[in-house]
Structure formats: C-alpha cells, structure tokens
Amino acid sequence: MTTTEFQVTGMTCGHCETSVRDEVSKLPGVENVNVSARTGALTVSSTDPVDPDAVLAAVSEAGYTATPA
C-alpha cells in the first residue's frame, strides 16, 4: 500500500469532496481516498503507486485543479 498526496484548489464544501472522491476512486488500484475541502489536501491510498497524471486528470474531471503535494 502506498499513499500519494496532492493539493486541490477550488473545493468549498462536502459536495466538492464527494465529487473529487468519486472520480479519484475510479482509478485502478485506488483503495482509499481522503480529501478535505478545508485544507485542500487529497491523499490517495493505492495497492501500487498511482500515476499522478491520472489523479490530476480525475480531479480535473470533477471540476477542480490538483497539483502534486
């Protein structure tokens, strides 16, 4: 299990968190997603290291912008 951290901008509430969590959870190998609208922190736990670009694309799909942290 590995965890990868990102910083997300644009989230304001729990619905934003859910949108990000739903999209990132779809990525292969992702086991757990922790996201906070308050801090912008996104932590992705996965069986193998995730492709950061895939996570950034998934967050973008949800309507927000992420950068590796």
Site of interaction with Cu ion (CB under 5 A): 12-13, 15-16
Distances (CA, A) of 12 to 2, 18, 51: 27, 11, 26
Which residues have a Cβ under 8 Å from the Cβ of 15 and sit 6 or more positions away? none
Q: How far is the CB of 24 from Cu ion (least distance, A)?
A: 16
Between residues 35 and 44, which has the closer beta carbon with respect to Cu ion?
35
**Closer CB to Cu ion, residue 19 or residue 51?**
19
Nearer to Cu ion by C-beta: 50 or 58? Answer: 58
